[in-house]
């Protein structure tokens, strides 16, 4: 599971799944860049914990547009000279139920800006950088891992904006794999179910909420962040050398589709 000499960009890296992924990639030997939006102290503390600026760099960047995504890739390449792994982990999930008949268009647009448009910019710039990196025929140029959700597979009532954006990432995974695999660029997707993070905290805050959620998961609990980060790391290692275009479900058995 070693990634010595590799450079990874992990979005949404200051907390939750992202922070756990930053730690695992550093443990595997990669130099890591990640972004944060407002959690400056937490991000800087994580970068220091993981070895400091020479090997782990935190960038302040609100990923709300394709332009912002491209800029973050440029920052990573400027800092470390290359990019070998792009992990698109950031995203927003508006916690209040919003029926489609009354959903505020501003909510819809903000969700798409963050969860989808910025991903286009990230992937576009990262793939272009990977294509410029010298590689012999048959060698790996890079890895892209998009983090989707069970909501992107089965939908989620009253959260159509989130489900649509995450479903699009699954389609993007399959499209990009078909386009890029022959060039030595692997594109895969991890689709988590419920995870114990700050984003899911409001839904898990009450006994009734937890009972409802746990009742849909055969394992009877939500995931720990490490249980999502580890499959992401795996997909960027030689052990996943014959996996491309895959949607890896990490959801406790809740949704059994690809």
DSSP the chain: ---TT-EEEETTTTSHHHHHHHHHHHHTT-EEEEEESS-HHHHHHHHHHTT-TTTEEEEE----SHHHHHHHHHHHHHHHS---EEEE-------S---TTT--HHHHHHHHIIIIIHHHHHHHHHHHHHHHS---TT---EEEEEE--THHHH--TT-HHHHHHHHHHHHHHHHHHHHHGGGTEEEEEEEE-SB-STTTTTTTSSHHHHHHHHTT-TTSSPBPTHHHHHHHHHTTSGGGTT--S-EEEESTTS----
Identify the active-site residue in 162, 228, 235, 248.
Answer: 162
Does 186 participate in catalysis according to the annotation?
no
Task: Retrieve residue 85's tokens.
Answer: 């792994």
Catalytically active residues are 162
């Amino acid at each position: 599971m070693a990634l010595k000499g590799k450079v990874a960009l992990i979005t949404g890296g200051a907390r939750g799944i992202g922070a756990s992924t930053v730690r695992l990639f550093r443990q595997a030997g990669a130099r890591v860049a990640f972004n944060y939006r407002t959690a400056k102290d937490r991000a800087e503390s994580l970068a220091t914990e993981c070895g400091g600026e020479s090997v782990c760099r935190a960038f302040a960047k609100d990923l709300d547009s394709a332009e912002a995504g491209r800029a973050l890739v440029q920052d990573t390449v400027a800092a470390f000279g290359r990019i070998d792994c792009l992990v698109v982990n950031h995203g927003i999930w508006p916690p209040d139920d919003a029926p489609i008949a009354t959903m505020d268009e501003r909510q819809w647009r903000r969700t798409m800006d963050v969860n989808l448009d910025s991903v286009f910019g990230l992937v576009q710039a990262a793939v272009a950088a990977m294509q410029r990196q010298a590689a012999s025929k048959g060698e790996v140029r890079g890895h892209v891992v998009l983090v989707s959700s069970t909501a992107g597979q089965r939908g989620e009532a009253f959260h159509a904006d989130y489900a649509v954006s995450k479903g699009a990432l699954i389609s993007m995974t399959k499209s990009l794999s078909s386009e890029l695999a022959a060039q030595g660029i692997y594109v895969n997707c991890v689709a988590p179910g419920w995870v114990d993070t700050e984003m899911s905290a409001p839904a898990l805050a009450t006994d009734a909420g937890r009972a409802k959620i746990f009742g849909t998961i055969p394992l009877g609990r939500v995931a720990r962040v490490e249980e999502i980060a580890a499959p992401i790391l795996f997909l960027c290692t030689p052990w996943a050398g014959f996996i491309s275009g895959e949607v890896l479900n990490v959801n406790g058995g809740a949704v059994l589709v690809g």
